[in-house]
Amino acid sequence: MTLLIASIRRADVVLTADGRCTRRANGKVTSVDDNYQKLHPVPDHPLVIAHHGENLLNGKPVKELLADFFKTLNAGNHTVLEIGDLLQDYARPAIRTRLKSLGSGAASGFWVIGFGTQAREAFGMEAFWKWDDHLNSEEREWKPVTIVAGGDGKKQIPPVDYKAIEKATVEKVREYHKSLVDSAIKTEMEDNPVGGHVHELVINREKWEWTIAP
């Protein structure tokens, strides 16, 4: 379970994620990992892939699947949308197999956010899959100025407001993200899906940088 928040502005992006991974069997929580990494920077490029939903693909954590994907990726030659297409082609077989095995309602999604080749403004996209009686897929795009929340945890935060980030400093955007994450973590509910070690990245045209390491 997850809460992802991205503030996409022309010159930078702030990406925040909680660190809770909850495993369930027969509707019951069987284990909780509060140090699960959901933000995955592309090595040596101002790009990040975030993940929410089912995170065991090809029998391995998403982090390992993405590490293998990065070995095939020449990110400097592609736009964000092109990287999204390559990721969908790479991950779809594993996602289809896993979601089919879990059955109706199982879902998994990736965000690709940052600066693609020759981009002067940040951009983001989402590829999302859900299993009903077959595999359904959706795709979304985000241009600046946009703030977007994802994962089951987005139900636990107030509606996001782009006006809170449009002209704010990076530090003020980070504070806004923290207020949203805190509200989700403090939600009084059984087996809260949001929690653990929050991690965060800031991306500009030159690089990504951890502001809170996983």
Residues 6 or more apart whose Cβ sits within 8 Å of residue 58: 65, 94, 97, 98
- The span from the CA of 52 to the CA of 110, in Å, is 7
pLDDT tens digits, 173-189: 999 999 999 999 999 99
Q: Which domains are assigned to the chain? A: 4-212 (3.60.20.10)
Is-contact 109 150, C-beta < 8 A?
yes
Each residue's pLDDT tens digit, 65-90:
999 999 999 999 999 999 999 999 99
Provide the total of helices (H) and of strands (E) in the chain, helices listed first: 3, 14
Q: Is the dihedral of CA 197, 60, 62, 132 positive or negative?
A: negative
**Cross-strand bridge partners of residue 57:** 60
pLDDT in tens, 11-63: 999 999 999 998 777 767 778 899 999 999 999 999 999 999 999 999 889 99
Token look-up 């993405």 returns 66
- DSSP assignment, residue 154? G
Predicted confidence at residue 110, as pLDDT, reads: 98
